[in-house]
Amino acid sequence: MGTGFSIDSPIKVAKYGIHSVISLVDDALIEQMRKFYCEKYEQPYAPITKYDEDFRAHRITAYLDLVHWIVEKEFETVKNSEFEPGSEITKYFEMLPEDSVLKAAYRHMLSSQDEKLKIALQKSLRESMTAGDINVNIMTKLDRDNYDAKGNLLPAESSDALSALRGYAQSKLKSAIVFSAGFNRRLYAYIEQFKDFYADATGDIKKKIILKVSDFRSTLIQGKFLAKKGLWVSEYRIESGLNCGGHLFATDGYLIGPIMEEFHSKRQHLVEELHKICNEALKLKNKIHFNQPHQVKITTQGGIGTFQENEFLMRRYHLDGTGWATPFLLCPEATNVDPVTLEKLVKATEKDVYVSYVSPLGIPFSNLRNSLSDLEKNMKVMRGRPGSACPKGYLVSNTEFTEKPICTASRQYQKLKLEHLSSQNLQEAEYKKCFDAIVAKACICHDLGESVLINNNVPSNVPRFTAVCPGPNIAYFSKIIILKEMVDHIYGRINLLNDTYRPHMFIKELRMYVDYLRKDVQKSLDSLNGQKTRYFTEFKDNLLEGIEYYRNLFPQMVEETVEFRIKMLNELEECKSNLLGICEEHSHAFNSSMTLTAAVAIV
């Protein structure tokens, strides 16, 4: 969701028992928010500057401990409020799902006519309440090495990702850390240095590990690596490769439905294998080991938009939970979106959310068309001064022109790259294509944090231009939402969708993958080779297998109406036709014999 939108979400929603996640990318933003909340809650504040030793880790620890203190304080206020209409404690219980045991106990209290019993039941309800978790996230690919004041490379422990991990590990939190964007070997190896990631004698793990994954194979690889160090992964969070917000990590045509099916069928094997490996590692370390595996949750997120979809996923794949993100951008009670960007999100249509290449990481990025960040970036190009001043540098990675890495969105890099481009004597069309690709990069590590500062009137010496990275689901929600409404929508008590036709999340993702393949093939026509044709063929075959899987699955979706299921099947055939049309139009990009085999198998 970006750095700023949920940086203080736990302060907003944890008191109601709702879990949320804070990104640990931007320690400068984190320090600004620590100062803001210290002043708001009248707590002493001593700045942690970039000249202080291990400042990044210390900033993160200090902020997380402050958030922890605020959440405990706010949660106690909710617990001690009166059970009356409109009160905070009433809001807590009213938002619970209808099938919750606690919700049933709450209804029993409301219906009781015995005043003494009612008071006793209220006391029991208060004792049963829990605050939401203050979870954190590290995007594993953002692991910049750092240098001292003299330009000397600092030890690996000072890298961005390892410093962020250390900051979380040293905090008072009892929660979980989410690792996203793939395998970072040195980061994962570093975890074993912190005792809070290991289970105590009761089997309790103070700081749990959550892996955000896109397929079963990579899950097993990462799980084994951590298990060999005696570290237990408490949750595997399956995310759609394309039907989500933020950076998009497309699979090789593997769709979310078949991926969840594989997790469902191999779950027990995964747990047993990792438990055996983990126990052996713990014995070698002379640490406590356990006869039974710790709990493992399998959850999913990415593109869920209706109660019916959520119910089907939970029932069919026996999931332990689901995650919702994009619709919460329209909920100021939960996230921070500045007024201008909020209005743009309210009015956003399907065409306004697109797969962009603004990220300096070179990874596709779900972007809002005409965001303030994009408008300012384009204005700089028109003025003849493209690129950003790169005030934070979290995404530096390029050493094409410099010894130390710089960011491809920076003014320094784009100036050097455009000078090099001018020396190539390219044809006008080719030059424009290359030029546009260079200046497309935006300063997202800075701009994704701006909303929360704007909303809280945190002073700035420079103009602010917000970037935002919603998933496609934003097109189907068209009003500012209060928290209870959002929760009620998730649990099927109300419907917040607008009048725009919304395809099922499985169909939406499939269409995005077909479109992704089309663009990838077209982009590669001038540089086709055997490796690429094999890749395109495998991608296409995986999509065809996914289509066949959905053809058998859709009739089983009893949560949806018969009419909608028929429409889904028709849309599935349309996707298949479009896919085979790409294969026919660009047959030289695919292995013809494999194409024929796959097509015959599906017909």
pLDDT digits (tens, 9 = 90+) for 313-331: 999 999 999 999 999 999 9
Q: What is the pLDDT of residue 321?
A: 96
Query: For every residue of 425-449, which 3-state class applies, written as one string?
Result: CCCHHHHHHHHHHHHCCCCHHHHCC
**382 vs 372: CA distance, rounded Å:** 15
**211 vs 297: CA distance, rounded Å:** 11
Q: Which of 357, 443, 356 is nearest to 395 (CA)?
A: 443
**480 vs 478: CA distance, rounded Å:** 7
Beta bridge partners of 497: 477
- Pair of tokens at residue 188: 């994962």
Contacts of 286 (CB under 8 A, 6+ apart): none
pLDDT surpassing 90 at residue 417:
yes
Phi-psi region of 230 (alpha: psi -120 to 50; beta: other; left: phi over 0): left
pLDDT surpassing 80 at residue 596:
no
Band the pLDDT of 462: cuts 50, 70, 90.
confident
Query: For every residue of 489-539, which 3-state class applies, written as one string?
Result: HHCCCCCCECCCCCCCHHHHHHHHHHHHHHHHHHHCHHHCCHHHHHHHHHH
Rounded to 10 deg, the angle between the 256-284 and 505-523 helix axes is 90
**265 vs 500: CA distance, rounded Å:** 36
Specify the 3-state DSSP secondary structure of 177. strand
Q: What is the pLDDT of residue 2?
A: 81
Q: What is the pLDDT of residue 150?
A: 87
pLDDT digits (tens, 9 = 90+) for 437-452: 999 999 999 999 999 9
pLDDT digits (tens, 9 = 90+) for 375-395: 999 999 999 999 999 999 999
CA distances from 420 to 11, 406, 411 (A): 48, 16, 14
* Other Cβ atoms within 10 Å of 402 Cβ, number: 12
Q: What is the pLDDT of residue 591?
A: 85
pLDDT surpassing 90 at residue 14:
yes
pTM of the predicted model, to two decimals?
A: 0.95
Q: What is the pLDDT of residue 601?
A: 37
CA distances from 153 to 55, 145, 147, 403, 563 (A): 16, 7, 4, 12, 62
**166 vs 207: CA distance, rounded Å:** 12
* Other Cβ atoms within 10 Å of 148 Cβ, number: 9
The mean pLDDT of 73-99, rounded to a whole number, is 97
* Other Cβ atoms within 10 Å of 576 Cβ, number: 21
Mean pLDDT of the chain: 95
**175 vs 189: CA distance, rounded Å:** 20
Band the pLDDT of 595: cuts 50, 70, 90.
very low
**503-602 belongs to which CATH class?**
mainly alpha
Band the pLDDT of 548: cuts 50, 70, 90.
very high
Helix count and strand count (H, E) for the chain: 22, 9
**52 vs 357: CA distance, rounded Å:** 36
* Other Cβ atoms within 10 Å of 336 Cβ, number: 26
The mean pLDDT of 342-365, rounded to a whole number, is 96
**380 vs 387: CA distance, rounded Å:** 7
Band the pLDDT of 538: cuts 50, 70, 90.
very high
Band the pLDDT of 85: cuts 50, 70, 90.
very high
Contacts of 589 (CB under 8 A, 6+ apart): 521, 524, 525, 528, 532, 533, 536
The mean pLDDT of 229-240, rounded to a whole number, is 98
Band the pLDDT of 22: cuts 50, 70, 90.
very high
The mean pLDDT of 473-483, rounded to a whole number, is 97
Please work out, in degrees rounded to the nearest 5, the angle formed at the alpha carbon of residue 98 by the alpha carbons of 72 and 260.
Answer: 90
Q: How do strand 233-239 and strand 297-301 relate by DSSP bridges?
A: parallel
Percent of the chain surpassing pLDDT 70: 98
The mean pLDDT of 259-276, rounded to a whole number, is 98
60 in Cβ contact with 171 (< 8 Å): yes
Percent of the chain surpassing pLDDT 90: 95
**233 vs 267: CA distance, rounded Å:** 13
Domain boundaries, the chain: 1-165, 331-474, 503-602
